[in-house]
Amino acid sequence: MQFVITSVVLALQLVSASVLPRDGLEYSELTGIEPFNTTFALEHLVEDGTLEGTQSLTERQASGAVFYCINANWGPACEYRYMPKDQCVTFQAPWQDSISSFGPDPGVWCHLFEHSNCNENGRVLWNVQNPGIDNLDTIGWNDILTSVRCWW
């Protein structure tokens, strides 16, 4: 009988010790806060019970950056730059009208413009994607690129 009581007391001590935090910090329970947005989850459930993605994997992994150089075949000087999504970027000196290689990161595509402010009255090179164009002269665009708009 004494063995049974000792075993029960020991078991209770082990259970209570495992519930206490081991880092010495005090914790408080949050009430009234939903730890997981079940409304969002329920809206995105598909028939097999899994959640559908809200963005494609490529879009989530895309950096929004491009690499460009003043010489063909990625010859220096070069710059690696983030492009804001769906916003026109007009290159400034020394890059404006000097770029000979242009390449977006994977998952990024860009429209290249001959004129500043992404003006479509001049030449436009649509949907340039990775790996890009290592020699813009081969398509008649050497030292012509003035502005760009990218998406991902």
Per-residue pLDDT band for 63 (boundaries 50, 70, 90) equals confident
Q: Is 125 left (phi over 0), alpha (psi -120 to 50) or beta?
A: beta
CATH number at residue 105: 2.60.20.10
**Can you name the residues that pair with 90 across neighbouring β-strands?**
147
pLDDT band with cut points at 50, 70 and 90 for residue 20? low
- Provide the pLDDT for residue 86: 96
- Is the pLDDT confidence value at 45 over 90? no
DSSP 3-state assignment of 66?
A: strand
CB 139 within 8 A of CB 93: no
Query: What's the whole-model pTM score?
Result: 0.60
Summarize pLDDT for 87-110 with one digit per residue, the tens: 999 999 999 999 999 999 999 999
Number of structural domains in the chain? 2
Q: How many CA atoms lie within 13 A of 96 on its CB side?
A: 11
Read off the pLDDT of each residue in 44-70 and give the average, rounded to a whole number. 65
- Nearest CA-CA partner of 117 in 141, 96, 139: 96
Both 28 and 81 in one domain: the answer is no
Taking 80 as the threshold, does the pLDDT of residue 82 lie above it? yes
Q: Name residues whose C-beta falls within 8 Å of residue 131's C-beta, 6 or more positions apart in sequence.
A: 103
In a domain, 131, yes or no: yes
d(CA 88, CA 150): 8
74 shares a domain with 144? yes
Q: What is the Cα–Cα distance from 148 to 65, expressed in whole angstroms?
A: 12
Identity (one letter) of the amino acid at 20? Answer: L
Structural domain including 20 reads 2-43
Same domain membership, residue 94 and residue 31: no
The answer to whether residue 52 sits within a structural domain is no
**Residues 94 and 119 placed together within one structural domain of the fold:** yes
Hey, which of 2-6, 40-44, 134-138 has the most confident mean pLDDT? Answer: 134-138
